[in-house]
Homo-oligomer: A and B are copies of this chain.
Amino acid sequence: MKIVVDAMGGDHGPEVVIKGVIQAVNEYETEVVLVGNEPEIAEQLKKNKYAGNKIHIHPSAEVIEMHEPAATSVRRKRNSSIVVGLNLVKHQKADAFFSAGNTGAVVCAATLGLGLLPGIERPGIAIITPTLKGISIIIDVGANIDPKPSQLLQYGIMSDAYFRNILNKPDPTVGILNVGEEESKGTEFIKETYELLEKSHLNFIGNVEGKDLFSGKSDIILCDGFVGNVALKVTESVVETMMTFLKRNLLSSMLGRIGIFFLIPSFKRLKKQLDYSEHGGAPLLGVNGVVIIGHGRSNVSAIKNAVRVAKEEVERKFTEKISEAIKSQ
């Protein structure tokens, strides 16, 4: 198996990506193709004393930066690590693609390069997040900010397949993110989606609210990409704000200053538990191939985990499973 990793993607640059990849090939049965600036990659591999034969370099001349507009940059930078890397998957020279780079560009390049699965109108980004009861999928978190109800139904079907085939849970529950629990609540878009979901074969449990996002009330939570993106970024912001307030509070009292020494290990564990990037990146569902999107700030272990998730999707023939699920609806 060969997984393509965008060496140039992510806030921390090639160093962190390459460290994560080295850990991944040492730990898992897979090869990795690093796409990007060849001398830079070679230098990092040397610096990290990697001398094995499971990491390959595929050169690419350009980089799509984090804040470049997605569609334009994908069209113009045909030699970027994202476009070149996805072409390797398209031409079956590799099995999956991972990037912690410009999310919009990955979505756009994957849609254009790999195409969509039959019956899918738009791809969606699925976040796999820890909850009080286990794990939930929230989809979409930014690929499709103004979707149609039929597209949310498709996200539901694909996430259902993900739960069954990758997360090993049969019959996952599906909820739609709304401003109240009652069926009468929400915009016209929500009401139409609600009706479609009710008629589907999914295990639809109705509306869930923002407060249920991490309660584990529903295994799958559907929302438009605008709301999903805001919800995700609000979550990150609240976690960071709480940590800052807590630190300020602790440092402002004698008892707190003593307490903080006892707490450092717990804080570190908490941050890890709450950080969805630790869980291995976000699958882009609906494209014809395995594509995993990483958070820009992915650290070494997030990169490693993303390679693992990509490998699992390939091994379990997830793309075929989704196609079957869509056909049988």
Residues 244-259 of A at the B interface (beta carbon under 8 Å): 244-246, 249-250, 253, 255-256, 258-259
Chain B residues closer than 8 Å to A51, beta-carbon distance = none
Q: Does the CB pair A234–B211 fall under 8 Å? A: yes
A258 to chain B, nearest CB (A): 5
Chain B residues closer than 8 Å to A27, beta-carbon distance = none
- Nearest residue, chain B, Cβ from A184: B69
Q: Does the CB pair B146–A179 fall under 8 Å? A: no
User: Given A179-B225, A184-B69, A239-B242, is A233 in contact with B255 using a C-beta cutoff of 8 Å?
Assistant: no
Q: Does the CB pair A262–B270 fall under 8 Å? A: no
Q: Is A266 an interface residue (CB 8 A)?
A: yes
Q: Is A230 an interface residue (CB 8 A)?
A: yes
In-complex Cβ contact of A255 among B67, B229, B234, B266 (8 A): B266
Binds B, one of A31-39, A40-48, A212-220: A212-220
A101 to chain B, nearest CB (A): 15
User: Given A69-B182, A210-B229, is A253 in contact with B265 using a C-beta cutoff of 8 Å?
Assistant: yes
Chain B residues closer than 8 Å to A69, beta-carbon distance = 182, 184
* Bound-state Cα–Cα, A263 to B179, Å: 35
A280 to chain B, nearest CB (A): 19
A190 to chain B, nearest CB (A): 8
- Nearest residue, chain B, Cβ from A256: B266
In-complex Cβ contact of A237 among B179, B215, B237 (8 A): B215
Chain B residues closer than 8 Å to A255, beta-carbon distance = 262-263, 265-266
Chain B residues closer than 8 Å to A231, beta-carbon distance = 210, 230-231, 234
Q: Does the CB pair B242–A186 fall under 8 Å? A: no
A172-194 interface code vs B (CB 8 A; 1 in, 0 out): 00000101011010111000000
Chain B residues closer than 8 Å to A239, beta-carbon distance = 238, 242
Chain B residues closer than 8 Å to A256, beta-carbon distance = 262-263, 265-266
Q: Does the CB pair B210–A234 fall under 8 Å? A: yes
* Bound-state Cα–Cα, A223 to B231, Å: 13
A40 to chain B, nearest CB (A): 28
* Bound-state Cα–Cα, A186 to B230, Å: 11
Q: Is A200 an interface residue (CB 8 A)?
A: no
Show 12 residue pairs from A and B whose CB-CB distance is below 8 angstroms, ordered by the A residue: A186-B226, A209-B233, A210-B230, A211-B234, A214-B241, A230-B230, A230-B231, A231-B234, A241-B274, A242-B270, A255-B262, A259-B259
| The 7 nearest A-B residue pairs measured at CB | A210-B233, A259-B262, A210-B230, A210-B234, A249-B266, A211-B233, A238-B238
